[in-house]
Amino acid sequence: MTIETIILSILALPLLGALINGIFGKNLPKKIVGTIATVVMFASFGLAITAFSSLHEMKIVHLYQFINFESFHLNFSLQVDALSIWMTLIVTGVGSLIHLFSMGYMSHDKGYYKFFTYLNIFIFSMLILILGSNYFMLFFGWEGVGICSYLLIGFHFSDEKKGLLNSVAARKAFIMNRIGDLGLLIGLFLILAQFGTLEYRELAQMILVEGINPTTWMMFGITFCLFIGATGKSAQIPLFTWLPDAMAGPTPVSALIHAATMVTAGIFLVVRSNFLFELAPMTQDIMLYVGLATSLVAAFIAMRQNDIKKVLAYSTVSQLGFIFVSLGMGGYTAAIFHVTTHAFFKALLFLGSGSVIHAMSDEQDIRQMGGLKKYIPITHITFLIGTLAIAGFPFLSGFFSKDEILAHALHHNIIIYISLAFSALLTAIYMFRLYFVVFYGKFRGSDEVKHHLHESPLNMTLPLMVLAVLSVIGGVLNIPSLFGEGISHWMSHFLEHTTLGLSAVDPVHLSNGQTIMLMTSASILTIIALVVSYFIYVKKESVPVSDDKITGWVKLSANKLYLDEIYNFLFVKPIELISTFGHRFFEVAFLNKSIYGFANLVGKSGEIVRKWQSGIVSSYILWMVFGIVGLVLYIIIKK
């Protein structure tokens, strides 16, 4: 098979699955529906591996010309290089596992076939986003994943209790994303106006080879707009509040879309546009500080959330912020490295929480859980591995990928390093809190729930185990040079080799001493967090108190810094006011009145004229006499 056929098949398979299930799924048994959707994913993943192993150079697969204007062209074409293939591997690989998991998780759901159709369409859109060879294709996929996200967050829209709430969350996600999309769109217009093309390859050619260097402000404008797009999709300040609400969707959706794949689209965008960002140091700084602030704020909020999925959601936001810090420092491969490991352990944690929720008869409040480790052992062990990985426990995947970013920070600025390390510490604390409160202590839920506690079936635990293994060994992909020059930084080299622009970025190399110092301090912090949490939540068995008894920073954290309320007050209410008052006063009262006034005027003047045409013959004769007299007078005077 040529690389063209392979890439097209990778794209076509999920679409095919979606079409089959979308059209015939209603009348097929659930087993078959789920199998079709999952098999196409695994096939797609297999092909992605083939493409990966046969990748030697960048290739463009041109399909057709979408728009062919004299001033510019938009191509429907795909770009195969290290970055796109790597992302494809993550999306199809993690995607396959989550499809498999969903077969069990959604087995009682009525909308089973719809769910898998949406999931497959999502994968298709995501692949378009990743594999496209220009910003237009990216935007295409970008909007596409937004719709799938909308449909899947609001999947249980007709639920008696939560139906409307789910759909409100879905709408919020879509609209906040759209705000980001507008930024991205304007960025695209700027690129078109400046360079006349949206093809990555041509842009890289112009900037890297021909050395075209537009004004700093132009580059700032372009990259800033792209970054606004990224803040929407990748949930950064100020557009991140949709992501926690998006947890209203079924748990596999949270794992796939809102942890492992879609939310990394913004990061992908920046890495893809690295040669643009390298020319805009101002945007890089903004990105750095926005990322840092997001990372800290989200970690702070995660400290006192009591919904198992909300904790993980804020954790995702925080980790994404972490990655943006890396991007802001030019650490593109480090960012992709963390995206990869994060996809492993965050998907694992979400699926694990899904398994917990499944066992708990749909209860998500951790105050109702406790002591679950003996009831659901596999979930427990894998969840523990995920927790350790994200907390940065030595030699697990998260440890290496975080270290890579911390190394950049140390190289860049000591204050940023300290802030990032603090954020990492918070991560460890809230994750251990979550873990201990859920799995240790006594069971706190009702007896009925306790009676139903059960481990999930194999098709749900198998993905957990695979992801757990990946979370443990994922760090090998990009170990620091301390462990030997030959095997180190494999992923960085792989990405730099064929991804546009990346080879031009200087890698950060720390001395062995610095690396050891870095790793030791990170390990110590993690272990401190572990020990402290153990004492608070296991030894003293303290359980988070109910919402009305909290004060001070805890209250601030539990109420998410009141950000939703602030946004509501600042943006939503004013627009609604304009809408209501605009209609009441301007439309109905003013514009309409003036029109009716005009109409009345016409009517009035008609009334006056009408009096003259009264139909009474005698009055006509009278007027006639007047007329004749007048005429005669006129003639006499004129003479």
Kindly list the residues in this chain that would bind other proteins in the complex (CB under 8 A): 65-71, 125, 136, 139-141, 143-144, 146-147, 150, 154, 157-160, 163-164, 166-168, 171, 174-175, 178-179, 181-182, 185-186, 188-189, 192-193, 575-576, 578-580, 582-583, 587, 591-592, 595-596, 598-599, 602
Rg over CA atoms, the chain: 31
Helix axes 30-53, 112-131, angle to 10 degrees: 20
In whole angstroms, how close is the CB of 176 to other proteins at the nearest point? 9
- Backbone φ and ψ for 462, nearest 5 degrees, come out as -60, -50
Residue with tokens 């095997």: 487
What is the rounded CA–CA span in Å between residue 331 and residue 323?
A: 9
What is the rounded CA–CA span in Å between residue 264 and residue 129?
A: 11
What is the rounded CA–CA span in Å between residue 122 and residue 44?
A: 14
Residue 409 tokens read as: 């920070």
392 in the Ramachandran plot: left (φ > 0), alpha (ψ -120 to 50) or beta?
A: left
Burial of 588 (0-12, 13-18, 19+ CB in 10 A): exposed
Q: Which is nearer to other proteins, 6 or 185 (CB)?
A: 185
In whole angstroms, how close is the CB of 621 to other proteins at the nearest point? 35
In whole angstroms, how close is the CB of 171 to other proteins at the nearest point? 5
Closest CA to 384 of 365, 406, 356: 356
In whole angstroms, how close is the CB of 597 to other proteins at the nearest point? 12
In whole angstroms, how close is the CB of 35 to other proteins at the nearest point? 23
Residue 352 tokens read as: 């694990």
In whole angstroms, how close is the CB of 575 to other proteins at the nearest point? 6
The answer to whether the CB of 471 falls within 8 A of the CB of 385 is yes
Q: Which is nearer to other proteins, 54 or 605 (CB)?
A: 605
Residue with tokens 């700027």: 190
Q: Which is nearer to other proteins, 64 or 612 (CB)?
A: 64
The answer to whether the CB of 338 falls within 8 A of the CB of 323 is yes
Contacts of 400 (CB under 8 A, 6+ apart): 337, 341, 474, 475, 478, 479, 480
Q: Which is nearer to other proteins, 216 or 619 (CB)?
A: 216
In whole angstroms, how close is the CB of 157 to other proteins at the nearest point? 4
Q: Which is nearer to other proteins, 62 or 583 (CB)?
A: 583
The answer to whether the CB of 123 falls within 8 A of the CB of 97 is no
In whole angstroms, how close is the CB of 583 to other proteins at the nearest point? 5
- 3-state secondary structure (DSSP) of residue 66: strand
In whole angstroms, how close is the CB of 163 to other proteins at the nearest point? 5
In whole angstroms, how close is the CB of 90 to other proteins at the nearest point? 22
The answer to whether the CB of 115 falls within 8 A of the CB of 34 is no
What is the rounded CA–CA span in Å between residue 309 and residue 384?
A: 16
Instruction: List, in sequence order, every residue forming a beta bridge with 61; answer none if it has no partner.
Output: 78
Residue 234 tokens read as: 């990748």
The answer to whether the CB of 139 falls within 8 A of the CB of 200 is no
Q: Which is nearer to other proteins, 70 or 448 (CB)?
A: 70
The gap from C-alpha 617 to its chain's centroid, in whole angstroms, comes to: 83
Q: Which is nearer to other proteins, 167 or 340 (CB)?
A: 167
Residue 441 tokens read as: 């202590």
Q: Which is nearer to other proteins, 144 or 331 (CB)?
A: 144
CB atoms within 10 A of CB 145: 26
Burial of 92 (0-12, 13-18, 19+ CB in 10 A): buried
Q: Which is nearer to other proteins, 139 or 435 (CB)?
A: 139
Residue 492 tokens read as: 């960085």
Around 173, how many Cα atoms within 13 Å sit in the side-chain half-sphere? 31
Q: Which is nearer to other proteins, 70 or 506 (CB)?
A: 70
Q: Which is nearer to other proteins, 193 or 566 (CB)?
A: 193
Q: Which is nearer to other proteins, 184 or 360 (CB)?
A: 184
The dihedral over CA atoms of 320, 324, 326, 331, expressed in degrees to the nearest 10, equals 110
Q: Which is nearer to other proteins, 65 or 512 (CB)?
A: 65
Q: Which is nearer to other proteins, 100 or 226 (CB)?
A: 226
Element (H, E) at 80: strand 73-80
In whole angstroms, how close is the CB of 598 to other proteins at the nearest point? 8
In whole angstroms, how close is the CB of 146 to other proteins at the nearest point? 8
In whole angstroms, how close is the CB of 116 to other proteins at the nearest point? 16
In whole angstroms, how close is the CB of 580 to other proteins at the nearest point? 5
As a three-state string, the secondary structure of 118-147 is HHHHHHHHHHHHHHECEHHHHHHHHHHHHH
In whole angstroms, how close is the CB of 167 to other proteins at the nearest point? 4
Q: Which is nearer to other proteins, 150 or 277 (CB)?
A: 150
* Geometric angle at alpha carbon 373, from 368 and 378, rounded to 5°: 125
Around 76, how many Cα atoms within 13 Å sit in the side-chain half-sphere? 7
The gap from C-alpha 356 to its chain's centroid, in whole angstroms, comes to: 24
